[in-house]
Protein backbone atom coordinates (compact mmCIF):
# COMPACT_ATOMS: atom_id res chain seq x y z
CA UNK A 1 0.00 0.00 0.00
CA UNK A 2 1.44 3.33 -1.05
CA UNK A 3 1.74 5.98 1.65
CA UNK A 4 -0.63 8.93 1.41
CA UNK A 5 1.21 12.17 0.79
CA UNK A 6 -0.19 15.64 1.43
CA UNK A 7 0.87 18.84 -0.23
CA UNK A 8 2.64 21.41 1.87
CA UNK A 9 -0.28 23.83 1.48
CA UNK A 10 -2.70 21.29 2.93
CA UNK A 11 -0.41 20.58 5.86
CA UNK A 12 -0.04 24.28 6.57
CA UNK A 13 -3.81 24.68 6.51
CA UNK A 14 -4.20 21.77 8.94
CA UNK A 15 -1.59 23.26 11.23
CA UNK A 16 -3.34 26.63 11.06
CA UNK A 17 -6.64 25.01 12.07
CA UNK A 18 -4.90 23.28 14.98
CA UNK A 19 -3.36 26.57 16.06
CA UNK A 20 -6.72 28.32 15.92
CA UNK A 21 -8.32 25.52 17.93
CA UNK A 22 -5.71 26.01 20.65
CA UNK A 23 -6.03 29.80 20.70
CA UNK A 24 -9.78 30.44 20.65
CA UNK A 25 -12.77 29.06 22.45
CA UNK A 26 -15.41 30.39 20.04
CA UNK A 27 -15.90 27.42 17.76
CA UNK A 28 -18.37 28.90 15.22
CA UNK A 29 -15.67 31.06 13.48
CA UNK A 30 -13.32 28.08 13.62
CA UNK A 31 -15.82 25.74 11.95
CA UNK A 32 -16.50 28.38 9.30
CA UNK A 33 -12.77 28.55 8.64
CA UNK A 34 -12.59 24.75 8.38
CA UNK A 35 -15.42 24.63 5.82
CA UNK A 36 -14.00 27.56 3.80
CA UNK A 37 -10.55 25.93 3.75
CA UNK A 38 -11.94 22.54 2.76
CA UNK A 39 -13.88 24.16 -0.11
CA UNK A 40 -10.80 26.05 -1.26
CA UNK A 41 -8.55 23.00 -1.30
CA UNK A 42 -11.14 20.77 -2.98
CA UNK A 43 -12.31 23.37 -5.49
CA UNK A 44 -15.92 23.21 -4.25
CA UNK A 45 -18.60 25.79 -4.91
CA UNK A 46 -20.52 25.19 -1.69
CA UNK A 47 -19.76 23.65 1.68
CA UNK A 48 -21.91 22.62 4.61
CA UNK A 49 -21.29 21.41 8.12
CA UNK A 50 -24.41 19.58 9.28
CA UNK A 51 -25.08 18.22 12.77
CA UNK A 52 -27.48 15.45 13.66
CA UNK A 53 -29.88 16.45 16.43
CA UNK A 54 -31.03 13.96 19.12
CA UNK A 55 -34.47 13.78 17.48
CA UNK A 56 -32.93 12.98 14.07
CA UNK A 57 -33.38 16.47 12.63
CA UNK A 58 -30.52 18.06 10.69
CA UNK A 59 -28.91 21.25 11.99
CA UNK A 60 -27.21 23.16 9.17
CA UNK A 61 -24.64 24.76 11.44
CA UNK A 62 -22.29 26.15 8.72
CA UNK A 63 -23.48 26.93 5.17
CA UNK A 64 -21.00 28.62 2.81
CA UNK A 65 -20.49 29.44 -0.84
CA UNK A 66 -17.11 30.07 -2.40
CA UNK A 67 -17.72 33.81 -2.18
CA UNK A 68 -17.68 33.57 1.62
CA UNK A 69 -21.41 34.12 2.08
CA UNK A 70 -23.93 31.97 3.91
CA UNK A 71 -26.20 29.84 1.74
CA UNK A 72 -29.87 30.74 2.29
CA UNK A 73 -32.36 27.91 2.77
CA UNK A 74 -29.48 25.45 2.92
CA UNK A 75 -31.79 22.52 3.60
CA UNK A 76 -33.22 22.97 0.10
CA UNK A 77 -29.79 23.35 -1.56
CA UNK A 78 -28.29 19.99 -0.63
CA UNK A 79 -28.83 16.33 -1.42
CA UNK A 80 -30.38 14.97 1.72
CA UNK A 81 -30.16 11.50 0.21
CA UNK A 82 -26.37 11.71 0.05
CA UNK A 83 -26.21 13.34 3.48
CA UNK A 84 -28.34 10.68 5.15
CA UNK A 85 -26.41 7.91 3.43
CA UNK A 86 -23.13 9.16 4.89
CA UNK A 87 -24.58 9.78 8.35
CA UNK A 88 -26.30 6.38 8.47
CA UNK A 89 -23.28 4.43 7.20
CA UNK A 90 -20.58 6.46 8.89
CA UNK A 91 -18.51 6.22 5.71
CA UNK A 92 -17.22 8.91 3.36
CA UNK A 93 -18.70 9.22 -0.12
CA UNK A 94 -17.44 10.72 -3.42
CA UNK A 95 -19.79 11.23 -6.36
CA UNK A 96 -18.09 12.28 -9.57
CA UNK A 97 -21.48 12.87 -11.23
CA UNK A 98 -24.58 12.48 -9.08
CA UNK A 99 -26.91 12.75 -12.09
CA UNK A 100 -25.44 9.61 -13.60
CA UNK A 101 -24.78 7.69 -10.37
CA UNK A 102 -26.92 4.55 -10.18
CA UNK A 103 -27.63 5.04 -6.46
CA UNK A 104 -28.63 8.70 -6.56
CA UNK A 105 -29.63 9.72 -10.10
CA UNK A 106 -33.31 9.20 -9.25
CA UNK A 107 -33.15 11.27 -6.07
CA UNK A 108 -35.41 14.32 -6.33
CA UNK A 109 -32.84 16.67 -4.85
CA UNK A 110 -30.18 15.50 -7.30
CA UNK A 111 -32.52 16.04 -10.24
CA UNK A 112 -33.97 19.36 -9.09
CA UNK A 113 -30.58 20.85 -8.20
CA UNK A 114 -28.69 19.27 -11.14
CA UNK A 115 -26.03 18.05 -8.76
CA UNK A 116 -22.70 16.90 -10.19
CA UNK A 117 -19.59 16.52 -8.04
CA UNK A 118 -20.30 15.77 -4.36
CA UNK A 119 -17.97 14.80 -1.54
CA UNK A 120 -19.29 14.07 1.95
CA UNK A 121 -17.48 12.75 5.04
CA UNK A 122 -18.98 11.87 8.43
CA UNK A 123 -18.23 13.60 11.73
CA UNK A 124 -17.56 10.80 14.19
CA UNK A 125 -17.22 11.41 17.92
CA UNK A 126 -16.43 8.51 20.26
CA UNK A 127 -17.59 6.02 17.62
CA UNK A 128 -20.89 7.79 16.98
CA UNK A 129 -21.76 9.80 13.87
CA UNK A 130 -22.83 13.28 14.93
CA UNK A 131 -23.04 14.92 11.49
CA UNK A 132 -21.18 15.42 8.24
CA UNK A 133 -19.14 17.83 6.13
CA UNK A 134 -20.59 18.14 2.63
CA UNK A 135 -19.01 19.95 -0.33
CA UNK A 136 -20.24 20.12 -3.92
CA UNK A 137 -19.51 21.51 -7.35
CA UNK A 138 -22.42 21.69 -9.76
CA UNK A 139 -20.45 23.12 -12.66
CA UNK A 140 -17.91 20.35 -13.19
CA UNK A 141 -18.25 16.57 -13.35
CA UNK A 142 -15.53 14.55 -11.66
CA UNK A 143 -14.24 17.55 -9.71
CA UNK A 144 -13.44 15.44 -6.62
CA UNK A 145 -11.28 12.31 -6.32
CA UNK A 146 -9.62 10.21 -3.60
CA UNK A 147 -6.77 12.68 -3.21
CA UNK A 148 -9.28 15.40 -2.29
CA UNK A 149 -10.93 13.11 0.25
CA UNK A 150 -7.94 12.85 2.59
CA UNK A 151 -7.74 16.59 3.49
CA UNK A 152 -11.53 16.68 3.89
CA UNK A 153 -11.37 13.74 6.30
CA UNK A 154 -8.65 15.49 8.28
CA UNK A 155 -10.58 18.74 8.36
CA UNK A 156 -13.71 16.85 9.41
CA UNK A 157 -11.73 15.23 12.22
CA UNK A 158 -10.55 18.64 13.39
CA UNK A 159 -14.09 19.96 13.18
CA UNK A 160 -15.22 17.03 15.35
CA UNK A 161 -12.55 17.84 17.92
CA UNK A 162 -13.65 21.48 17.89
CA UNK A 163 -17.25 20.42 18.40
CA UNK A 164 -16.28 18.11 21.25
CA UNK A 165 -14.28 20.89 22.89
CA UNK A 166 -17.15 23.30 22.39
CA UNK A 167 -19.60 20.81 23.85
CA UNK A 168 -17.36 20.24 26.85
CA UNK A 169 -16.90 24.00 27.27
CA UNK A 170 -20.65 24.54 26.99
CA UNK A 171 -21.31 21.81 29.54
CA UNK A 172 -18.65 23.19 31.86
CA UNK A 173 -19.97 26.73 31.50
CA UNK A 174 -23.50 25.46 32.04
CA UNK A 175 -22.40 23.67 35.22
CA UNK A 176 -20.51 26.76 36.37
CA UNK A 177 -23.52 28.95 35.56
CA UNK A 178 -25.85 26.55 37.35
CA UNK A 179 -23.55 26.34 40.34
CA UNK A 180 -23.18 30.12 40.34
CA UNK A 181 -26.96 30.47 40.19
CA UNK A 182 -27.31 28.00 43.07
CA UNK A 183 -24.72 29.87 45.12
CA UNK A 184 -26.45 33.18 44.39
CA UNK A 185 -29.78 31.65 45.44
CA UNK A 186 -28.17 30.21 48.58
CA UNK A 187 -26.55 33.56 49.39
CA UNK A 188 -29.86 35.32 48.71
CA UNK A 189 -31.71 32.90 50.98
CA UNK A 190 -29.02 33.26 53.65
CA UNK A 191 -29.21 37.05 53.38
CA UNK A 192 -33.00 36.88 53.60
CA UNK A 193 -32.81 34.48 56.52
CA UNK A 194 -30.27 36.72 58.23
CA UNK A 195 -32.42 39.77 57.61
CA UNK A 196 -35.50 37.91 58.86
CA UNK A 197 -33.55 36.71 61.89
CA UNK A 198 -32.31 40.22 62.63
CA UNK A 199 -35.83 41.56 62.22
CA UNK A 200 -37.13 38.82 64.50
CA UNK A 201 -34.43 39.64 67.05
CA UNK A 202 -35.37 43.32 66.92
CA UNK A 203 -39.02 42.40 67.37
CA UNK A 204 -38.16 40.14 70.31
CA UNK A 205 -35.97 42.83 71.86
CA UNK A 206 -38.76 45.37 71.41
CA UNK A 207 -41.28 42.91 72.84
CA UNK A 208 -38.98 42.13 75.76
CA UNK A 209 -38.49 45.84 76.41
CA UNK A 210 -42.25 46.40 76.20
CA UNK A 211 -43.01 43.50 78.53
CA UNK A 212 -40.35 44.68 80.97
CA UNK A 213 -41.72 48.22 80.84
CA UNK A 214 -45.20 46.90 81.57
CA UNK A 215 -43.84 44.90 84.49
CA UNK A 216 -42.35 47.97 86.18
CA UNK A 217 -45.13 50.47 85.46
CA UNK A 218 -48.37 51.22 87.22
CA UNK A 219 -51.15 50.60 84.71
CA UNK A 220 -53.30 53.56 85.83
CA UNK A 221 -50.78 56.38 86.24
CA UNK A 222 -47.88 55.16 84.13
CA UNK A 223 -45.52 55.77 87.07
CA UNK A 224 -43.06 53.16 88.25
CA UNK A 225 -44.57 50.52 90.52
CA UNK A 226 -43.55 49.26 93.95
CA UNK A 227 -41.45 46.40 92.58
CA UNK A 228 -39.29 48.74 90.53
CA UNK A 229 -38.83 51.40 93.20
CA UNK A 230 -37.83 48.74 95.77
CA UNK A 231 -35.12 47.46 93.41
CA UNK A 232 -33.89 50.97 92.58
CA UNK A 233 -33.94 52.00 96.24
CA UNK A 234 -31.59 49.12 97.12
CA UNK A 235 -29.20 50.08 94.29
CA UNK A 236 -29.25 53.82 94.99
CA UNK A 237 -28.81 53.30 98.71
CA UNK A 238 -25.74 51.11 98.11
CA UNK A 239 -24.21 53.69 95.75
CA UNK A 240 -24.89 56.52 98.19
CA UNK A 241 -23.21 54.58 100.98
CA UNK A 242 -20.22 53.72 98.80
CA UNK A 243 -19.57 57.20 97.40
CA UNK A 244 -20.82 59.29 100.31
CA UNK A 245 -23.77 60.71 98.41
CA UNK A 246 -26.97 62.03 99.87
CA UNK A 247 -30.15 60.13 99.07
CA UNK A 248 -33.49 61.51 100.16
CA UNK A 249 -36.74 59.56 100.06
CA UNK A 250 -40.23 61.08 100.30
CA UNK A 251 -43.51 59.29 100.96
CA UNK A 252 -46.54 61.16 99.61
CA UNK A 253 -50.14 60.50 100.56
CA UNK A 254 -53.30 62.16 99.20
CA UNK A 255 -55.23 63.53 102.15
CA UNK A 256 -58.71 62.07 102.69
CA UNK A 257 -58.64 60.17 99.43
CA UNK A 258 -61.28 57.73 100.63
CA UNK A 259 -63.72 60.61 101.03
CA UNK A 260 -63.01 61.70 97.46
CA UNK A 261 -63.90 58.23 96.21
CA UNK A 262 -66.99 58.07 98.39
CA UNK A 263 -68.17 61.58 97.48
CA UNK A 264 -67.24 61.88 93.81
CA UNK A 265 -66.89 58.17 92.73
CA UNK A 266 -63.97 55.90 92.08
CA UNK A 267 -63.79 57.10 88.47
CA UNK A 268 -63.08 60.63 89.76
CA UNK A 269 -60.58 59.13 92.18
CA UNK A 270 -58.73 57.57 89.23
CA UNK A 271 -58.65 60.94 87.46
CA UNK A 272 -57.23 62.50 90.62
CA UNK A 273 -54.42 59.94 90.67
CA UNK A 274 -53.57 60.74 87.05
CA UNK A 275 -53.59 64.51 87.67
CA UNK A 276 -51.42 64.31 90.76
CA UNK A 277 -49.01 62.19 88.71
CA UNK A 278 -48.62 65.16 86.35
CA UNK A 279 -47.87 67.41 89.32
CA UNK A 280 -45.11 65.04 90.47
CA UNK A 281 -43.57 64.82 86.99
CA UNK A 282 -43.62 68.58 86.45
CA UNK A 283 -41.72 69.20 89.71
CA UNK A 284 -39.07 66.44 89.65
CA UNK A 285 -35.89 65.86 87.67
CA UNK A 286 -35.20 63.09 85.18
CA UNK A 287 -32.84 61.52 87.70
CA UNK A 288 -35.56 61.39 90.36
CA UNK A 289 -37.68 58.27 90.63
CA UNK A 290 -41.42 58.70 91.16
CA UNK A 291 -43.50 55.59 91.86
CA UNK A 292 -46.98 54.68 92.94
CA UNK A 293 -46.44 52.62 96.05
CA UNK A 294 -50.01 51.53 96.50
CA UNK A 295 -53.49 53.10 96.52
CA UNK A 296 -53.09 56.84 97.04
CA UNK A 297 -49.52 56.54 98.37
CA UNK A 298 -46.45 57.48 96.33
CA UNK A 299 -42.67 57.45 96.78
CA UNK A 300 -40.17 59.90 95.36
CA UNK A 301 -36.43 59.12 95.46
CA UNK A 302 -34.05 62.09 95.11
CA UNK A 303 -30.53 60.78 94.28
CA UNK A 304 -27.57 62.96 95.24
CA UNK A 305 -29.94 65.41 96.87
CA UNK A 306 -29.72 66.86 100.37
CA UNK A 307 -32.69 66.72 102.70
CA UNK A 308 -33.10 70.51 102.45
CA UNK A 309 -33.16 70.57 98.63
CA UNK A 310 -35.59 67.65 98.53
CA UNK A 311 -37.80 69.44 101.04
CA UNK A 312 -37.96 72.50 98.78
CA UNK A 313 -39.00 70.31 95.82
CA UNK A 314 -41.65 68.61 97.95
CA UNK A 315 -42.97 71.94 99.09
CA UNK A 316 -43.47 73.00 95.48
CA UNK A 317 -45.32 69.76 94.81
CA UNK A 318 -47.54 70.26 97.88
CA UNK A 319 -48.34 73.86 96.96
CA UNK A 320 -49.16 73.03 93.34
CA UNK A 321 -51.41 70.17 94.44
CA UNK A 322 -53.26 72.46 96.84
CA UNK A 323 -53.78 75.24 94.31
CA UNK A 324 -54.53 73.11 91.28
CA UNK A 325 -57.90 73.83 89.65
CA UNK A 326 -59.55 70.58 90.70
CA UNK A 327 -62.88 71.83 89.41
CA UNK A 328 -61.60 70.63 86.04
CA UNK A 329 -61.83 67.10 87.42
CA UNK A 330 -65.01 67.49 89.41
CA UNK A 331 -66.97 70.55 90.49
CA UNK A 332 -66.32 71.34 94.13
CA UNK A 333 -63.36 68.96 94.44
CA UNK A 334 -60.54 70.11 96.71
CA UNK A 335 -57.33 68.19 97.35
CA UNK A 336 -54.21 68.37 99.49
CA UNK A 337 -51.27 66.05 100.07
CA UNK A 338 -48.96 65.29 102.97
CA UNK A 339 -45.30 64.35 102.60
CA UNK A 340 -42.74 62.77 104.93
CA UNK A 341 -39.01 62.89 104.11
CA UNK A 342 -35.88 61.11 105.35
CA UNK A 343 -32.28 61.00 104.13
CA UNK A 344 -29.98 58.00 104.09
CA UNK A 345 -27.41 59.12 106.61
CA UNK A 346 -27.64 57.28 109.90
CA UNK A 347 -29.65 54.40 108.39
CA UNK A 348 -28.32 50.92 107.83
CA UNK A 349 -30.62 49.98 104.95
CA UNK A 350 -33.37 51.40 102.69
CA UNK A 351 -36.13 49.84 104.79
CA UNK A 352 -35.01 51.78 107.86
CA UNK A 353 -34.85 55.02 105.88
CA UNK A 354 -38.31 54.36 104.48
CA UNK A 355 -39.72 53.69 107.95
CA UNK A 356 -38.43 57.06 109.10
CA UNK A 357 -39.99 58.81 106.08
CA UNK A 358 -43.25 57.02 106.86
CA UNK A 359 -43.04 58.22 110.46
CA UNK A 360 -42.63 61.78 109.22
CA UNK A 361 -45.67 61.31 106.97
CA UNK A 362 -47.68 60.11 109.97
CA UNK A 363 -46.58 63.21 111.88
CA UNK A 364 -47.68 65.42 108.96
CA UNK A 365 -51.09 63.76 109.05
CA UNK A 366 -51.36 64.17 112.79
CA UNK A 367 -50.32 67.83 112.53
CA UNK A 368 -53.25 68.78 110.31
CA UNK A 369 -52.25 67.36 106.89
CA UNK A 370 -51.30 69.41 103.83
CA UNK A 371 -47.72 69.80 104.92
CA UNK A 372 -44.13 68.54 104.42
CA UNK A 373 -42.20 67.21 107.42
CA UNK A 374 -38.57 66.12 107.16
CA UNK A 375 -36.37 64.38 109.72
Radius of gyration of the chain (CA): 52
Selected residue with higher pLDDT from 68 and 341: 341
Residue 213 has pLDDT above 70, yes or no: yes
CB 357 within 8 A of CB 296: no
Residue 293 has pLDDT above 70, yes or no: yes
CATH superfamily of 8-176: GAF domain (3.30.450.40)
226-374 belongs to CATH 3.40.50.2000:
no
Residue range 160-170, pLDDT digits in tens: 877 777 777 77
Write down the pLDDT at residue 152.
83
Write down the pLDDT at residue 21.
61
Q: Where are the domains of the chain?
A: 8-176, 226-374
CB 357 within 8 A of CB 339: no
Can 296 be counted among the known catalytic residues? yes
CA–CA gap between residue 151 and residue 160 (Å, rounded): 14
pTM (two decimals): 0.55
- The active-site residue, picked from 45, 136, 296, 356, is 296
User: What is the number of residues in the chain?
Assistant: 375
Percent helix, percent strand, percent coil in the chain, to nearest 5: 55, 20, 25
Amino acid sequence: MEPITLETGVLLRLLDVSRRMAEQRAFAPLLTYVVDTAMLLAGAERGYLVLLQPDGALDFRITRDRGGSDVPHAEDQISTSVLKKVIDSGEALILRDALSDANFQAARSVINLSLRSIMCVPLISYGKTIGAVYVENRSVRGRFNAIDLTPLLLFANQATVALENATQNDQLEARVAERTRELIEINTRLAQSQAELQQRMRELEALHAHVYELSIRDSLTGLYNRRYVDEQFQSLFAQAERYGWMLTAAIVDIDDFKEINDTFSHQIGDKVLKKITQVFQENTRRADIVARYGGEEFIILFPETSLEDAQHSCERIRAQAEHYDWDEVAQGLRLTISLGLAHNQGHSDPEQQLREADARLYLAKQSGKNRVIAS
